[in-house]
Amino acid sequence: QSALTQPASVSGSPGQSITISCTGTSSDVGGYNYVSWYQQHPGKAPKLMIYEVSNRPSGASNRFSGSKSGNTASLTISGLQAEDEAEYYCNSYTTSSTRVFGTGTKVTVL
Amino acid sequence: QVQLVQSGAEVKKPGASVKISCKASGYTFTNYYMHWVRQAPGQGLEWMGIISPSGGSTSYAQKFQGRVTVTRDTSTSTVYMELSSLRSEDTAVYYCARARTPAVAADYWGLGTLVTVSS
């Protein structure tokens, strides 16, 4: 199972919106609405930000939203803040009943 | 509150095995699956496998098939991950994370266990 493809880095100024893509195949992202997104700050455990494509768990800011089209899922952060600077990973269920992570995207707040 | 408490850091020699524990509390242990995910230094997250705490069935990433074994002890609400034939590339932080089903996202994560493989 190959890792899902994410851009290595995305940057934006405070207050702006940015979008991170996550491209897989019909065997993972495209085949299920079980795509999630995690935020990870250096030296910390990942934190769930979005589950099942577009749902936010309690504790996740409403500035985070998710969507999916075909084999590509997306995470949008609106009203970018300094605290959003982190690494972001997508994650999908697969036809092999396993899970696969994306390659990771470093978000920089300019 | 939900807690996943992992065992401490390990240093192993190449070819050895390591067994990491993850003790769950604050919820009904048998109602949630447990994933194992690792992260090599400066690298991304890598899914390793999952166990059903109730029945003990497992599923592993193809990359780790034959080298990884995940088990659980329902009497102590603890999940174990054993990785054998260690090599330097296995140096990583290993996380456990719970999920309601194998398909849905893991919502709580342990703090991680650093395993260093060095001669």
User: B105, A101: Cβ pair inside 8 Å?
Assistant: no
Task: Round to whole Å and give the CA distance between A4 and A25.
Answer: 8
Q: What DSSP assignment string belongs to B46-71?
A: EEEEEE-TTT--EEE-GGGTTTEEEE
Residue A8 in this model has a pLDDT that exceeds 90 = yes
Asked if A27 has any chain B CB less than 8 Å from its own CB, the reply is: no
Q: For the residues A76-85, what does the mean pLDDT come to? A: 97
pLDDT per position as a tens digit, B93-110:
999 999 999 999 999 999
A13: buried, middle or exposed (CB in 10 Å: 19+, 13-18, 0-12)?
exposed
The band of A96, judged by pLDDT with boundaries at 50, 70 and 90, is confident
pLDDT per position as a tens digit, B43-101:
999 999 999 988 899 999 999 999 999 999 999 999 999 999 999 999 999 999 999 99
Asked if A1 has any chain B CB less than 8 Å from its own CB, the reply is: yes
Residues of B engaging A, defined by a Cβ cutoff of 8 Å: 35, 37, 44-47, 50, 59-62, 95, 97, 102-107, 109-112
Supply φ then ψ for residue B118, to 5 degrees.
-155, 140
Task: Round to whole Å and give the CA distance between A63 and A75.
Answer: 10
* C-beta separation of B12 from B67 below 8 A: no
